[in-house]
Chains A and B, each alone.
Chain A
Amino acid sequence: MIKRVAIVGIGTTGFRPITPDVSYRELIFEAARKAYTDAGIEPSEIGGFITAAEDFLEGYSICDEYCPDQIGAVLKPTQTIPGDFIQALATGYMMIMTGAFKTVAIEAHSKASNVKNIDELMGFAFDPVYNRPLRETPHAIAGLEMTRYMFETCTSAEQCARVVVKNKGNAMRNPYAAFGADIAEKDVLNSDPISLPLHRLDIAPHADGAVVAVLADGETALALSETPIWIEGLGWCTDTPTLEMRDWGEAAYARLAAEMAYKMAGIANPAGMIDFAEINDEYSFKELQHMEALKLCRPGEAGHLLESGATSYAGDIPINVSGGALGVGHLFEASGAHKILELVEQLRGEAGARQIPDVNIGLAQVWRGVPTATGAVAILSNM
């Protein structure tokens, strides 16, 4: 029998623009307690713990040392992945596949509101010799990508604006989302120009929140859960950090991560097999660019698919029915955590007002934001 790994519990605080009422520890405890209760397991019974976190976002050196208490991991095997939640998910998957762990808990959170100068922090990620002295806004990198993507695929600014309208509209049905709104394309196109063709509303605003998930091997999963959500495929990769040498039109990191995940899941025809997807829309055009990289449509088709309504809540392949980063909020390394949360709720049939009927296979894709070229993909199913 092929060994499988499932998500057997998940918990979240939901996502808000600011969370001045709780410390990050109290925020994470809420998500962790909900996840363990959902899984029907106590942290003392869990084999290992992983946190996805980044020192500079936390404002602590060696921030991984501050993880154990609020996830119940004191004096247990624990580690931090300085990457997205989906990369931590891949590590947890591998830990279970070794046979050394029956259960692993994975945590990610955002307290982005506590970083007072996020643009400075993002700028600090630029190469200090080649790029940083030019003092460009980090959003300029996305502006450069957007220009090239629109040029190569004949995608219009109106189509990109429509992503924002769709996702903020979807977020209105999502009680976890911080930035739901009923807006029109002209509102996006008339918002403050940031680094053209990007406008203010093309950019996902930051949010705070935490998610914890519990993974288990197949046997343990079937004992713990009536609705285990199986991990069918995982993939991740990173393009060169050298901005001068990148492909600016295509998201190669997403294409290759998806190919790895599709191969593992045995999916030859993604557009026909994937029922719905939560994909990175940190900038409006990214949703369209990523749809093409994930082979959910051909290059240049994403904008038209969007206009046809196929990616809307009631369409053939709903994209970001949660509201995406544009509607829920940009969560840094917890971005993938929110997407996995949405997949699990949809595949369990627990997504309430935004439930998509009859879904079996969902895809989550993340990108680690400017100036990175790291992508990760997870494919989950309820079968």
Chain B
Amino acid sequence: MELEKYKLGGTHLKSSDFEKGKVLTTAWQPNLAYTWDNGVAIGRYLDELKNGRIIARVCHECHRIMLPPRMFCELCFRPTDEWMYVQDTGVVSTFSVARVNWDASRRGPKEPPLLPAVIEIDGATKGMGILHMLGEVDPDDIKAGMKVRAVWKKSEDRTGAITDILYFKPLRAAASKKAPARRKR
């Protein structure tokens, strides 16, 4: 055979050869650290999450109410004009049912799936909102277009982070399972 001369000779390497150090490799654990300046827009956004509120920025040129907030409009390419509080309710735009963790390790058989969702927040321009998690919901019951509300950490536990919201839960499910007096909160 013409290709015969390209065939490698010798013995195939096994993974155990690497594990036992018979084949040398080089390993290095980088130790890099960053502290990003949040700046004006994200700084205020996180401050307000700590207060239990969601804040957006408004562009007077295109009239978009932008969430997450930003100090400049990327389309009109001008500074945005004012702050505006929006609701902590919204509509599920899209969602997924994740049976693996962030590092791709599989969730255990007893662990519920993670439920990432993009939520269009009430008061912000349609198509804008928060990428977060859903909770207190059966994965089979989730639908695009479903109304949801933020479930916040207790105020003393909030740190000024996106995780100050624990997750979003269905509005309707809350209505069916909980007393009206409680819902008013």
Contacts and interface: CB of A to CB of B under 8 A. Distances in A.
A109 to B, nearest CB: 12
Interface in A17-35: 19-27, 29, 32-33
A74 B72 CA distance: 13
A353 interface: no
Given A29-B71, A68-B74, A128-B28, A23 B35 contact: no
A22 B33 CA distance: 19
Contacts of B33: 115-117, 120
Interface in A72-121: 72, 74, 111, 113-117, 120-121
B26 A129 contact: yes
Contact of A23 (B28, B31, B36): B36
B61 to A, nearest CB: 12
Nearest to A73: B74
B13 interface: no
A307 interface: no
A114 B38 CA distance: 11
Contacts of B37: 19-24, 111, 113-114
Contacts of B32: 56, 59, 115, 117, 120-121, 124
Given A21-B40, A26-B71, A114-B35, A36 B77 contact: yes
Given A59-B36, A116-B33, A120-B32, A23 B42 contact: yes
Contact of A116 (B34, B40, B74): B34
Contacts of B31: 117, 120
A44 B76 CA distance: 9
Contact of A70 (B34, B72, B78): B72
Most A CB atoms within 10 A — which of B31, B37, B71, B75? B37
A22 B39 CA distance: 4
A44 B72 CA distance: 15
Interface in A38-75: 42-44, 56, 59, 68-70, 72, 74
B34 A43 contact: no
Nearest to B37: A20
A69 B70 contact: yes
Contacts of B34: 59, 114-116
Nearest to A69: B74
A62 B70 CA distance: 21
Interface of A: 19-27, 29, 32-33, 36, 42-44, 56, 59, 68-70, 72, 74, 111, 113-117, 120-121, 124, 128-129, 132
Q: Pick the 10 closest A-B CB pairs, nearest first.
A: A23-B39, A59-B34, A69-B74, A116-B33, A29-B72, A72-B77, A22-B39, A26-B39, A20-B37, A128-B28
